[in-house]
Structure 1
Amino acid sequence: MSDKPAATAQARNSRLKLIALAVLVIAMTLTVAGSLWLVQKKARQLALPTLHSELWQAYQIHMAMDRLLLASQDLLKGKLVPDDLVVRVQVLRSLTQPLEGQHLFDFLPESRPAAESTLQRVISLSRQWDEQAQWGDAAATRQVAEQAAESLPRLQKPMHEVMVATNISLANELDAERQHLYDYFTGLGWALLGLLIGVSLLVLRLVGNYREARELSRNLTELNQHLEQRVTERTAELAEGQALLKQILDASPSDVVLADSSGKQVYFVNQRLMQRLSLDQASDFSLNRLFCNAREALHFREALLARHRVDDWEGLLAGEPPYWGVVSGRLLEYRGGPAQLIWSYDISLRKGMEQELLVLATTDALTGLSNRHAFMQRAQELLKTAERFDQPCTLLMLDIDHFKQINDTHGHQIGDKVLATLGGLLKKELREVDIIGRLGGEEFAALLAQTDQIDAMQVAERLRASVEAMPLPRANGEQVRLTLSIGLASRHPAEPLEGALGRADAALYKAKSAGRNRVARATN
C-alpha cells in the first residue's frame, strides 16, 4: 500500500521538474529573442546613411545661399543666363526639402525661436523660388533674382546662428544616444548572465538524466532476459493461430485478402481470389488489381484508412470478364502491426437484374425511347444545366397527324409499326445529347440542347420532311401516308418544364389548326 503513494509523489515531482525546465527554456528563448531584437533595432538606426547629418545639411544650405546670392547678383548685372540661376534655386530647394517637418532643435538646453524661424524662412523662400523660377522664363527668373538679392543678405548671419544651434542640439542628442547605448549594453550583460545561469542548470539536468538513463538501461537488460522466454512461447502460440486463420479464410465463400495497412506486404490471399485475378502468388495482389478503375481503388483505400471500416462498397472488379462486386474492409492488428482485411463477393446477377428493371422502368417498350416519366426527369435536369450556364434549348412537341384514322383503317398492328418506325427516325435524326421521349399515344417530345429557336426550326422542318418521305409499311397493298405536326417553344429564364411543355403544346395545336403537316412556334 505504501508503494502507490510513493510512486504518485515521484511522478508529481517529475512533472514539476519538467514544468520548471520548460519555463527555464522559454525564458532563455525569450531573452535571446529580445536581445537580438534590440541589437537589430539599434544596428538599423546606426546604419542609416543620413544619421546625425543635420549640421552638415545646415552648412550646405548656408553655402547654397551664398552661391544663390552671387548668382542672383550676376544675373542682375547681365553676367549670368537665367537657366543657371534656376539650377542654383533647385539646388537650394533640394537641400531644404529634407528638413521640412524635422525637429533639429529638440535637444537644445533652451528654446531658440529665432533659429527655428530663420530655418523655416529659408525653407519657405526656397520652396517659393523653386515654384516661381522656370526653365526658359527669363522674366520670372529675374524676379527671383531680385527677391534673392534682397532677402539673402539679411539671412546670412541668422543662418550662422542656425548652424550653431544645430551643432549644440546634435551634441546633446549624441550624449543622449551614448547613454542609451550604455543602458542597452548593460541590459545585454545581465541577459547573458541569465543565459549562463540557465545553461548551467540545463547541464546539471542533463547529467542527472544521464545517470537515470544508465540505471534504466540496467533495469531494461534484466527485463529483456525475462521477456525472451515469453516471446518464444508467444511466437509458438501465434504460429498456431495464424495457421488456423489461414484455414478459415481459405474456406470462406467470399474472396478474401489480408495485407498490411500500406498494402505493400500481402500476408494471405485465398485460392478463389487468386484464380479470379489470375495471380501467380499472393504478393502480386494490390487494390489496383482488384478494382478495374485505379481511381476507385484509391478512393476505397482512403475511405478504409479514414473510417477504419468500409461496408458494402459496390464497384466494377477485375476478372475475366470484369464483374460487379461488393467489397468490405476492416483495419485490424496482425503480427504486431496495423493490417487490412478485405473481402468481396460477386453481385453480377443482381446488377443485371437491376439494369433490366431500370430499362423497363424508363423505356417505352414499343419505340425504344424514354417513357414519359424518364423524359420529364431528364428534361428537367437539362433545363437546370441550361439555366445555370445561360444556354439556349428548345422543346419540340410532335404529333402524328390522323393517327386514329391509321389505326381504324389499317389496324393497330400497322399503327404500332408506324410508332416504332417514327421512334427509330427520331433517334437517327437527332443528337445523342438531345432528349427524346414518347409522352403517350402518338405524341412525342424532344428537348434540343444548346439550340436556339432558329436552329430548332431547321431541325423541326427536317424531321417533318423526313417523316413525310419516310417509307412506311403497307396494309393490304395500300400506301400508308404519314405526316407530322410540330410545336416549338424555346426556354424562358427560370421557367419550369411544365411551362415550356404548355407553350409547345399550344404551338402544336396551332400547327394542327393551320392544316397539319407543319411546324409552328410558340408566340410567347
Structure 2
Amino acid sequence: MGQMNHVTDGEPFPESWRAPGSTEAMAAGDPTFWTVLVVGIEPEVHAVTETMLDRATYAGQPVRLLHARSVLDAEAALRSGDDIAVILLDVEMETQDTGLRLVRTIRETLGIEDTRIVLRTGQPGDAPDADTVLRYDINDYRARTELTDVRLFSVIVAALRAYDRLRTIATQRDALGQMNQTLELRIAERTQELQDSETRLRSILETSVLPIFITAASGGQVLYANKSAHRLLGLVETRCDDDIWHRPADRRDLLNTVGQSGSVHDVEAQMIAVDGHRFWALIAAVAMTFDGQPAVLISLNDISSRKAMEEELKRLAATDALTGIGNRRQLMELGDRELRRARRYGGPLSVLILDIDHFKHINDTHGHALGDEALKTMVTCCLQQLREIDIMCRLGGEEFVVLMPETPVSAARTGAERLREKVAALKIPLTGDETLSFTISIGLTEPHQSDDTLGDVLMRADEALYAAKREGRNRVVVR
C-alpha cells in the first residue's frame, strides 16, 4: 500500500503516515484511513502482513499499518494518541505468553476498550481459552496457517466493522448524554428562577420539543404536561402517570432517587405511548415545588433507535458470520446457562463436538469457497435434525458444538448417529456431474460431578472427538 510506519527499538514513534496520492492530506492529520497495529518479533510476519493487506480498504478508506516488534514498541504506539482500530497480535513473542500479557495491559492498564484485538497463533492448539477471550474482548484468533490473503482481509474487515459500530454507538451515546445533561441543567436553572411564576415556567416548557411533565411527588397525579408529552403519552392534568411506565418499578425507583438526591439524569426505561407501543426513553428528573406541593419534573428523550442498534450489535457479536448460528461467545454464555440449569434441577445434558473429516483436503483440493459451502450445508443439515431446544454453535474452524438439554447420553448417541448418517449422505455439486461428499466425526459426553466449568465438559468431548479421528473417522465416540 506504499510506505508504512514501523515502530522499532531505539526509534521514536512516528507522527504521520504518507501514502501515494495523499501525502499532504495524511501529513496534515486528515483521519481518512483505518490504522492497524501489527505486533510480532519475526520480520517475515510483518513483511507478509504488509504484502497481504497492500491497498486494502474498508468503507472507502485505506488501511494504514503500524509495525511494532516488541511489547515496549506496541505500548508506545498505543500511548501515542493514534486512533488504532485493530491490533493484529502474535501470541508468542519474547515469551510464550507475551502476547496475552500485552492484551491484559491493553484492556486493564491502558483502558483501551474499543480497539479490536485479533490474535495470531503458531498452531490452532495455541488459541486462548474461552475465559480469556470473553474477559479481554478478543475479536478473533487464527493460526498463521489459516490466514491466507482473502482470509486475513476478511478477519480485518470484520474487526474494522465491529470497531466502526462501537465508535458510532459511543458517539451517539455521548451526544445524547450531553444533550440530556444540558437539558437538565437548563430545566434546573429555569425551575429555580421561576418557582414564583408558574405561568412563565409553563411557557418555557411548552416550547420544548421533548416530552416534559410534572407529577406529584406522591400519588402520581399529573400536575402539568407540555404538548409533546400529551401527543406522545396522552398525559393531561389530573390523570395519573402510572400507566405510561412499562415497569412500574422504574417509576418507583426514579421517584425514590429524586427524593434522596434531588435529581437524576441518564436513566433508561421503557415507556408506553398513547397508541400502545413501547419505546426506550432516556430520562432526567428534578425535584421542585409546583402549585404549592412537592413535585417532580420529568423529561424524556426517545432513544429507541440507539437501543435497536445496540441490540443489533450484540446479536452480531454472538453470531457466526458464515453459518448464521451462534459463535464461540454465545456458546459459552448459553452453555454455562444450560450447565447451571442441569445441575440445579438434576436433568441430563449431553454435549457433542463434531468436526468435518479431512476438511483441509477439501479446502486444498476445491478451494475455500467450496469449503465454506460445505460448512454451511452441514450446519443446515444438522439443524434440520435437531430439536428446537437443542443449541448448535460454531466453536471455530470446522469444529461445532451441539448442546442437547434434557437428553441422556444414550438418546444423544442415537441423535449423533443420525446426524453422522445424514451428513454422509449429502452431495455438494461440483463441475459437470461430479459431487462432493464428506463425513463427520463426533465426540459425545455429559457433565461429570468433578467438572467445574463448561470448559471441562468441552475438553472431554474434544478428547472423544479426537478418539473418533484416531479410530478411523466417520464415527461417534462417547467419553
Contact 2:339 2:454 in 1 (8 A): yes
Contact 2:229 2:235 in 1 (8 A): no
Query: Quick one: structure 1 residues 434 and 294, their matched pair in 2 at CA, closer, same or farther if it must change by over 3 Å?
Result: farther
Residue 398 of structure 1: CA displacement? 0.5
Q: Residue 400 of structure 1 aligns with which residue?
A: 356
User: What code does the residue aligned with 1:519 have?
Assistant: V
In 2: Cα distance, 1:305 partner to 1:426 partner: 56
Residue 373 of structure 1: CA displacement? 2.5
User: What are structure 1's unaligned runs of at least 5 residues?
Assistant: 1-236
In 2: Cα distance, 1:329 partner to 1:455 partner: 57
Query: Quick one: structure 1 residues 296 and 467, their matched pair in 2 at CA, closer, same or farther if it must change by over 3 Å?
Result: farther
Higher helix share: 1
Contact 2:441 2:468 in 1 (8 A): yes
User: What code does the residue aligned with 2:241 have?
Assistant: S
Contact 2:223 2:237 in 1 (8 A): yes
Q: Percent identity?
A: 38
In 2: Cα distance, 1:287 partner to 1:436 partner: 43
| Cα deviation digits, residues 213-250 of structure 1 (max 9, x gap) | xxxxxxxxxxxxxxxxxxxxxxxx98971011112222
Query: Quick one: structure 1 residues 328 and 494, their matched pair in 2 at CA, closer, same or farther if it must change by over 3 Å?
Result: farther
Residue 504 of structure 1: CA displacement? 0.8
Equivalent of 1:317 in 271, 291, 294: 271
In 1: Cα distance, 2:384 partner to 2:334 partner: 19
Equivalent of 2:313 in 344, 352, 357: 357
| Cα deviation digits, residues 112-134 of structure 1 (max 9, x gap) | xxxxxxxxxxxxxxxxxxxxxxx
Contact 1:263 1:286 in 2 (8 A): no
Contact 2:427 2:437 in 1 (8 A): no
Q: Residue 511 of structure 1 aligns with which residue?
A: 468
Query: Quick one: structure 1 residues 420 and 298, their matched pair in 2 at CA, closer, same or farther if it must change by over 3 Å?
Result: farther
Residue 500 of structure 1: CA displacement? 1.4
Q: Residue 367 of structure 2 aligns with which residue?
A: 411
Higher strand share: 2
Contact 1:410 1:475 in 2 (8 A): no
Q: Residue 391 of structure 1 aligns with which residue?
A: 347
In 2: Cα distance, 1:306 partner to 1:390 partner: 45
Structure 2 counterparts to residues 368-387 of structure 1, below 5 A: 368-387=324-343
Residue 339 of structure 1: CA displacement? 1.3
Structure 2 counterparts to residues 24-423 of structure 1, below 5 A: 241-277=197-233, 279=234, 281-284=236-239, 286-289=241-244, 291-294=245-248, 296-297=250-251, 300=254, 309-319=263-273, 321-423=277-379
Query: Quick one: structure 1 residues 494 and 266, their matched pair in 2 at CA, closer, same or farther if it must change by over 3 Å?
Result: same
In 2: Cα distance, 1:262 partner to 1:428 partner: 56
Contact 1:439 1:445 in 2 (8 A): yes
In 1: Cα distance, 2:431 partner to 2:254 partner: 60
- Give the secondary structure class of the aligned counterpart of 1:438: strand
In 2: Cα distance, 1:423 partner to 1:371 partner: 13
1:478 aligned onto 2:434: yes
Contact 2:443 2:477 in 1 (8 A): yes
Structure 2 counterparts to residues 406-485 of structure 1, below 5 A: 406-470=362-426, 472-485=428-441
Structure having the higher Rg: 1
Residue 433 of structure 1: CA displacement? 3.8
Query: Quick one: structure 1 residues 458 and 294, their matched pair in 2 at CA, closer, same or farther if it must change by over 3 Å?
Result: farther
| Range that drifts further, 488-497 or 459-468 | 459-468
In 2: Cα distance, 1:521 partner to 1:383 partner: 18
Equivalent of 2:459 in 473, 485, 502: 502
In 2: Cα distance, 1:292 partner to 1:475 partner: 58
In 2: Cα distance, 1:510 partner to 1:280 partner: 68
In 2: Cα distance, 1:302 partner to 1:422 partner: 55
Contact 2:215 2:241 in 1 (8 A): no
| Cα deviation digits, residues 171-216 of structure 1 (max 9, x gap) | xxxxxxxxxxxxxxxxxxxxxxxxxxxxxxxxxxxxxxxxxxxxxx
| Cα deviation digits, residues 487-512 of structure 1 (max 9, x gap) | 00110014022221121111111212
User: What are structure 2's unaligned runs of at least 5 residues?
Assistant: 1-192
- Counting matched residue pairs gives 284
Residue 254 of structure 1: CA displacement? 2.6
Query: Quick one: structure 1 residues 396 and 314, their matched pair in 2 at CA, closer, same or farther if it must change by over 3 Å?
Result: same
Residue 366 of structure 1: CA displacement? 0.5
